[in-house]
Amino acid sequence: MLGLKKGMLVYDLGSGTGDVVIHLARKYKVKCVGIEIDPLKVLLSKIRISRAKDLRTLIEIERKNFLSVDLSKADAIYLFLSGGTKIMKNLEPKLLRELKEGVKIASYVHSFQKWTPEASVRDIKIYSISNLELNV
Ligand SMILES: C[S@@+](CC[C@H](N)C(=O)[O-])C[C@H]1O[C@@H](n2cnc3c(N)ncnc32)[C@H](O)[C@@H]1O
């Protein structure tokens, strides 16, 4: 769905305890950056990653608010935000401003209000940054 290939850079915005970044790094050999605001979850995910030799070089976890992180190098974005509509709304202008042409965004459960997904698979909606300006 995200067209992931070895070496691509994927951001998980709100990476929790690292389940998704670990899965993506293992399955697709992509580089992952997990951004997580909760220090305990950051610690747990770092411990999990440090124990797995194959993941150490592929995953970075940063304790930050993703609204203040530069996303301009991302090749793909994943998010599952329990905060729902409000946080998604705050993210819309940031993603449009910072993401490169062609970047895809996968959002689990929650939708962006103003944007039309290019695909939808079960609870995951896929948005392509190339199509979004047309929908704003
Ligand atoms: C529902 S969990 C998703 C965890 C993981 N991405 C997954 O799919 O399993 C959402 C996470 O986003 C984090 N979060 C919410 N707002 C955030 C923000 N502004 N910056 C960084 N992390 C945030 C929460 O602490 C929580 O761990």
Residue 4 lies inside a defined structural domain of this protein = no
d(CA 23, CA 18): 8
Task: Tell me which amino acid residue 93 is.
Answer: P
Looking at residue 66, what DSSP letter applies?
G
Q: What is the mean predicted confidence (pLDDT) over 39-60? A: 96
Decide if pLDDT at 16 tops 80. yes
The pLDDT assigned to 136 comes to: 46
Decide if pLDDT at 134 tops 70. no
The range of the structural domain enclosing residue 59 comes to 9-135
For the Cβ of 38 lying below 6 angstroms from any atom of ligand 1, the answer is: yes
Residue 3 lies inside a defined structural domain of this protein = no
Ligand 1 centre from 65 Cα, in Å? 9
Which are the contacts of 33, defined by CB distance < 8 A and separation ≥ 6?
9, 10, 11, 12, 21, 59, 60, 61, 62, 74
Residue 1 lies inside a defined structural domain of this protein = no
CATH number, residue 25: 3.40.50.150
The pLDDT assigned to 133 comes to: 61
Write the DSSP assignment of 8-19 as a string of letters: -EEEEES-TTSH
Query: What band does 51 get if pLDDT is binned at 50, 70 and 90?
Result: very high
Residue nearest to atom 14 of ligand 1 (CA): 14
CA distances from 134 to 50, 114, 115, 127 (A): 42, 10, 9, 12
Based on the structure, what is the number of domains in the chain?
1
d(CA 70, CA 77): 12
CA-79 nearest atom, ligand 1: 6
Decide if pLDDT at 85 tops 90. no
Residue 2 lies inside a defined structural domain of this protein = no
Dihedral sign for Cα atoms in the order 62, 4, 53, 49:
positive
The pLDDT assigned to 83 comes to: 74
Please, is 44 exposed, middle or buried when counting C-beta atoms within 10 Å of its C-beta (0-12, 13-18, 19+)?
A: middle
